[in-house]
Structure 1
């Protein structure tokens, strides 16, 4: 009797194995026909079935599967089926977790969609899997330049700037600011200044995953990882008490660019005053006790001067009616994205910048330097006014 049962089980397993082989064979044939018809989605589904039923074929059909994946991903991308695209890559990486080509392609899609931190992770993994993979190395270096922008090095090497921030933070902490939030912490240096000055609680937020991880390394190197609470968040997304227990008495930040407003400092500080900071100290009143909210830097002033500069004009105006025999009609108008309507899809930056000391041919001052405007970062109403001024397209052109 036992021998009879064994024979039945063997026959059953043999039948299942034969059925599996038959299904795999038919799926491979179907996938090939779909590729010939450029039906990449169906071909991809067939290959997924084959790889799940017959993992021993992974090496044999690897290149064909990659080709099918990439073609199907391009089609999904063109159809804006982003979630389906990422699902396909996740399925592929479950089957080929150490495939540098798939990792690199996933990174390219992420980068094009603006997910630079995530893209960097896939490019880095591809390079680790194959250090000689030229495409992955080029992609990784490219995204690295986006994630750790060059001005970080200039700031860290600016001793005067660093000492000025240090002194301002020390003065604020000594005068009663015991809880600090560093918005856009970057390398974490301002948070460490606050902790060294004696702040009881220090929180720091950073949206960029790369800079967040770099800040963690810098803070740990200074033995402050238990004293500074780093948040991988945009400050506008911080909630009390979910992310920090209560309102802080000091916000420090340097989310400014050459024109002051390009990194969104006004919007982030309006949000901070409304949701994250203690109330400001009453003006024109003598108050000796209690904690009050404040911001460092306290304010900023923009200066302006009219200049005449042929080189700048050459970069922003068409000064010829003919280019190598090709005429430029007077009816054609050229516009830089700088001058696009605020809020339009073509707006890239609200202004451009130039290093005047390096301009070929120099420039001619047409006016004396003058103060254009001052923004008090400790006055919520002033910042709301400035924000509305710029959002309503009544802004200055720098």
Structure 2
């Protein structure tokens, strides 16, 4: 049964006002309004911890067509502050669907608004830049809404890791850990590799990708001590994705530098990439409207990969020490840094998501490369 709708309202920090509808009847939520250009993957977006404190504007005109299923969750809850869409599907149709997106939004009390001109709003944010917004079902005046919006802190200089990281370490287990083939050969002795995942808000599918290579995986809190991590005898360390301003996570930068100096193989993804670059002396900056979508071309030297991206900060060009690292990939839309490798340490990172989920699998080979690096270091 489809819940009844009620009027809802959106106001941005510069006063832009939109009226739409909601299936929830009482909420007020404030967050950074950002847009995602993906045509699919709304479930993964809603449960990706990297979207913590953000209101997601979906540019695709209708979402919810394939419903919601338990297997595609990226975490055990949603961290978003709200959802903005042109239309929500009333009749999802997919053999994996368990409940509708509408029912999921209502059950999880996720603030949402639909029935507004999302094309106009996306172009507006593209031109003006992402900004703080408020969505609510309460009939507040423009002045009252502006006061609500002004009370919200910008994500710049904001450390959100404590809201999304695990509170204690645990091992990832799965009934099936298949050894997959890559480059025509099976991974050898992969089950003997122990990978520590430093959890800044890790997506479940990053862990799943590692598990398909038979790795033993331990997830640890973001601010674990160097001695604690080394006591686990890791063969490699993965620095996960996550939300917030990387420059504000100072303790993690110190930890990562210690880990790099220990010569343990390290693979950084998204926020993990930014933190690794910061620990080496690089600088980060906030993008005008970020990279959030499934078709961002990245590459270097005549090699191009379609990548899934979700970030509002990037490593500033020409700030990385050239004597220590090489830039391996660039975002071909705006030439921002999309990947790097250390010249003398077994460490590398990418700004995008090689696990996709959702998105293209062009860069999944990076997990196989990480396995190779760990095996090489283990032998030597």
Using the size of structure 2 for normalisation, the TM-score is 0.25
Larger Rg: 1
Could you say which structure has the greater relative contact order, defined with CA pairs below 8 angstroms and 6 or more residues apart?
A: 2
Quick check: which one's strand share is greater?
A: 2
TM-score of the aligned structures, taking structure 1 as reference length: 0.24
More helix by share: 1
